[in-house]
Amino acid sequence: MTTPWLTTYNGEAVAIGLVPSVSIDRFRKALLDASDQGDRLLALTGWPVAGGLRLLAAVAVDASRQIRLTSAPVQDRYSALTPELLAAHYFEREIAEQFGVHPAGHPWLKPVRQTEHGPGAGPSLFQVAGEEVHEVAVGPVHAGIIEPGHFRFQCHGERVLHLEIALGYQHRGVEQALLGGPTPRTLALAETLSGDATLGHTTAYCQVVETLAHTKPSARANLIRAVGLELERIANHVGDLGAIAGDIGFLPTAAYCGALRGTFLNLTLRLTGNRVGRGLLRPGGVAFAIDDAELLEVVAATSSALEETRQAVELLWSSPSVRARLERIGTVDEAMAETLGMVGPAARASGLYRDARRDHPTGLYRHRRPAEVIMEGGDCFARAMTRWLEIIRSVAFLQRVVHEGAKGEAWLPVGPLAANHLTVSLVEGWRGEICHLATTDAGGRFLHYKVIDPSFHNWFGLAMALRNQAISDFPVCNKSFNLSYCGHDL
């Protein structure tokens, strides 16, 4: 019996015809077997290729850097994977929403993004019954300047029995808008997939186009991209540490990290003219040929800002009142993180080392990468500490790669995209693994474009972290994950 899988790698394109099309039963079995072997579900989506709708699954074999693909033709329903493969939970809800295919037996089938749904569209919010149980609804309009999302708590006194997160308020139809591309607009859309992860998502998009056009950016462009990506990671992690401190009322770190985040964003501004790095990347390389002197100056500024950050952040670890608020709060253990398919710093804080820079490297990361950071415990403290260690490692990494330097043209022209091809592009953004999965039609235009923000994997982790926690600890748990709403809602 032939294998149901096609093996590919991050940054490789495969012809659509090569992707196996197996029966739905074999598709299910292949996915469950892969999960048993420890392979990780990257994507599960409807795939509207010629000949009818198929289900397309991509799994990552992190140890061998492989990505495996399989597909199965599907009609209007199939037997859901979620009861046996929890990581498919959100994906199957999305398939039902986007393609009208019913995953029969799904335990909680309701739209992922559609917030106003008619009768019969699925169950409403989960409720716990009982005289002493009360329900607290938060959002979608919040008191702070944050994105909209609805959180429904089932509580017994101060204890949270269950948290249900309802998102979709930021749904803009970006995936739809990307179809038929690439056009000059496509790059701008990629930059706004999730504003605070602009460079992560745009790198993933550029990689898609370059792979399908068989173009390789120069070593120089890869260096500048890595500098941008790591600066984005540092700025966001610093901001998160400040926000975590703010949520527990710890003023000094909150105030200084809030300002220092600006310092790091301003370094991105200096390189690209934009604080979140818009306009830096384009398929084929980078838009600005930033010279060595400039890069060295930025890296030196990064190092001195790190010293200031160190003073602010180390107050967190040395204050007993802070430790008491972070330790053993909002725990997601390693087994749960693995079951849910969590990625990024949240997974690494739970002891699950998942990092696309190591497991599926592209660009500069093929040769150089920051030292690994892994924590145990999976509580708010571990997630905060993971961020801090990643900041230190990223600054050291920048020092090293910029001093080594790289040669080449900043930008190389990109030809037309290969027709009828598929590519998976993985980039380790600051929240975790960003996955773009693109398919072209006979004219080399995007026939299907799936964006999977790391938040898509991790939102359920937040809900699980709140089980049996005090409701007053929700804000700090939420901040310790700091997931993207618009990256999820697309």
Partner 1 sequence: MALISSILVPASGLVLAPLLVAVINRVKARIAGRQGPPLVQPYRDLAKLLGKGAVYSTTTTWLFRAGPVVSLATALAALLIVPLGGVAAPVHFTGDLVAVAGLFGLGRFLTVVAALDTGSPFEGMGASREVTFAALVEPALFLALASIVATTRMGSLSSAYGAVDAALWSAAAPTLGLVAATLLVVYLVENSRIPVDDPTTHLELTMIHEVMVLDHSGVDLAFIEYGAALKLWLLGMLLVGLVVPVRTANPWLDGAAVIAGLAGLAMVVGLIESTMARLRMNNVPALIVGGGVLAAVAFVVGLNP
| Residues engaged in binding partner 1 (CB under 8 A) | 134-138, 143-144, 157-158, 245, 247-252, 254-256, 259, 319, 321-322, 324-325, 329, 470-475
Taking only Cα atoms into account, the Rg of the chain, rounded to an integer number of angstroms, comes to 22
CB of 128 or CB of 324, closer to partner 1: 324
Tell me how far, at minimum, the Cβ of 60 lies from partner 1, in Å. Answer: 36
Nearest partner of 429 among 165, 146, 218, 237, judged by Cα: 237
Tell me how far, at minimum, the Cβ of 163 lies from partner 1, in Å. Answer: 11
Tell me how far, at minimum, the Cβ of 475 lies from partner 1, in Å. Answer: 4
Tell me how far, at minimum, the Cβ of 130 lies from partner 1, in Å. Answer: 15
Q: Please give the backbone phi and psi of residue 332, each rounded to the nearest 5 degrees, phi first.
A: -120, 110
Which string of b and e fits 172-207 if b means at least 16 CB within 10 Å?
eebbeebeebbeeebbebbbebbebbbbbbbbbbbb
Contact 397, 368 (CB under 8 A): yes
Tell me how far, at minimum, the Cβ of 252 lies from partner 1, in Å. Answer: 6
CB of 377 or CB of 432, closer to partner 1: 377
CB of 1 or CB of 143, closer to partner 1: 143
CB of 159 or CB of 366, closer to partner 1: 159
CB of 118 or CB of 320, closer to partner 1: 320
Contact 201, 432 (CB under 8 A): no
CB of 233 or CB of 479, closer to partner 1: 479
Tell me how far, at minimum, the Cβ of 304 lies from partner 1, in Å. Answer: 17
CB of 185 or CB of 310, closer to partner 1: 310
CB of 172 or CB of 323, closer to partner 1: 323
Tell me how far, at minimum, the Cβ of 468 lies from partner 1, in Å. Answer: 12
Tell me how far, at minimum, the Cβ of 246 lies from partner 1, in Å. Answer: 8
Nearest partner of 417 among 178, 83, 172, 66, judged by Cα: 178
CB of 248 or CB of 347, closer to partner 1: 248
CB of 155 or CB of 490, closer to partner 1: 155
